[in-house]
Amino acid sequence: MKLYDCQIAPSPRRVRIFLAEKGLTMEKIEVDLLGAENLKPEYLKINPRGLVPTLELDDGSRIDEVVAICRYIEALHPNPPLMGTDPKSAALIESRNRHMEIDGFDAAADAFRNSAPAFANRGTQGVPKPVPAIPALAERGMEGLNRFFAGLESWLGENEYIAGPSYTIADITGLIAVDFAGWVKMEIPAGNKNTKRWYDAVSSRPSAKA
Amino acid sequence: MKLYDCQIAPSPRRVRIFLAEKGLTMEKIEVDLLGAENLKPEYLKINPRGLVPTLELDDGSRIDEVVAICRYIEALHPNPPLMGTDPKSAALIESRNRHMEIDGFDAAADAFRNSAPAFANRGTQGVPKPVPAIPALAERGMEGLNRFFAGLESWLGENEYIAGPSYTIADITGLIAVDFAGWVKMEIPAGNKNTKRWYDAVSSRPSAKA
């Protein structure tokens, strides 16, 4: 197996942390997103949607989308479990992981892609045609991040980790969402003690450096 | 088990079709989205994010997010399989299902929520505070739908169904995305014969009426 990766991008980092938590290593091929290598014909043969990460299996088939890649890895390497151990825990973790994606990651992406000068004409990822940034969408993203941080603080007041008593894929997505929010200068609010306690714990795991 | 549902909304229809394909029936509680019942305190106790569908288990725990709900049902009722039968097929179906969500459903939602008069101040689902529509985001959604239909035609030229030779959850999401695109008058392009062949097949299954 090999992973088409990009060191600076939030999405492939989710897979790298997942692999690190499993104690797995893998060949990685760096794709230069800033140089738009993901939109060149060579990479579009690998992933027609022009996105990273992509996992290539030894039989040549390819899986994209972070959670699909992680679930494949989880099936082959179930320990430590990061996506649940029975139907109910798996569903609750998947649900919470989606909240981290939609409320956190997507809001940060809206805020960042629609405000960063380097993305002025790259409003939609994977699209070669110029897509102008929408400043109002950046604002909507910032408001979404405020709600995200409020929700996170509430959940983490009830549980040690985002989806319950154990570290799971939802913590990986949550960590990446919080770090991505930092790209638009949105930090964990000063009074959010539960979130800070959790962030210190997950960001100091060795996997966070992956 | 019971399902908090809304007959007119695209997301809960995904779960209803999934249940119908499994031959399952379940108590359903209608939530009046147009009347903003989903944002009232009673429903926010059921789902703090103010969204439907939500699945309530007999032990009182609740699962939200469509795919998490479907995966729970799949685990309890594996036949007919709608989410894969081995790690590789499960990953490829999950990946393709995400494409249907991101490229199709989300684009249609952007186009609809940011152009329909009834949603002029409801730009973000589940948020009680007024969120003004962003006309430029509606346009971006329409352009996304053009790309979605092009991708769909290409994939369906290679496979009978969206994720391979069998009907799966990706076909349910694809069907809902195409129907949702119809809300903004975006129809399957006239020359897209593969998509029309597929759409006729999936929309004439009894489950499509669910």
Q: What is the ipTM metric for this complex?
A: 0.96
Nearest alpha-carbon partner for A47 in A71, A34, A73, A29: A29
CB within 8 Å of A23: residues ≥ 6 apart: none
pLDDT tens, residue by residue, B70-105: 999 999 999 999 999 999 999 999 999 999 999 999
What is the CA angle A172-A173-A175, rounded to 5?
Answer: 65
> A150: pLDDT confidence band, cut at 50, 70 and 90?
very high
pLDDT tens, residue by residue, A168-193: 999 999 999 999 999 999 999 999 99
The tokens describing A10, both together, are: 């939030």
> What's the average model confidence in pLDDT over A41-58?
97
CB contact (8 A) between residue A123 and residue B134 = no
Rg (CA), chain B: 17
CB contact (8 A) between residue B61 and residue A127 = no
Our measurement of the distance from residue A66's CA atom to the centroid of its chain's CA atoms, rounded to an integer in Å, reads 7
Q: Does A48 touch chain B (CB under 8 A)?
A: yes
Nearest to A94 among B68, B103, B131 (CB): B68
Q: Does A60 touch chain B (CB under 8 A)?
A: no
Q: Does B46 touch chain A (CB under 8 A)?
A: no
Report the C-alpha gap between A48 and B54 in whole angstroms.
34
pLDDT in tens, chain B (210 residues): 999 999 999 999 999 999 999 999 999 999 999 899 999 999 999 999 999 999 999 999 999 999 999 999 999 999 999 999 999 999 999 999 999 999 999 999 999 999 999 888 888 888 888 899 999 999 999 999 999 999 999 999 999 999 999 999 999 999 999 999 999 999 999 999 999 999 999 999 999 999
The pLDDT value recorded for residue A122 is 86
Single-letter code of the amino acid located at A177: A
Q: Does B75 touch chain A (CB under 8 A)?
A: yes
Residues of B in contact with A18 (CB under 8 A): none
Q: Provide DSSP, B161-174.
A: BTTBSS--HHHHHH
CB contact (8 A) between residue A72 and residue B64 = no
Q: Does A100 touch chain B (CB under 8 A)?
A: no
Is the Cβ–Cβ distance between B17 and B183 less than 8 Å? no
The pLDDT value recorded for residue A162 is 98
Domains of chain A: 2-76 (3.40.30.10), 87-209 (1.20.1050.10)
Is the Cβ–Cβ distance between B35 and B193 less than 8 Å? no
Average pLDDT, chain B: 97
Q: Does A158 touch chain B (CB under 8 A)?
A: no
Residues of A in contact with B147 (CB under 8 A): 127
CB contact (8 A) between residue A92 and residue B137 = no
The pLDDT value recorded for residue A170 is 98
Percent of chain B topping pLDDT 90: 93
Q: pTM for the full model?
A: 0.97
pLDDT tens, residue by residue, B8-31: 999 999 999 999 999 999 999 999
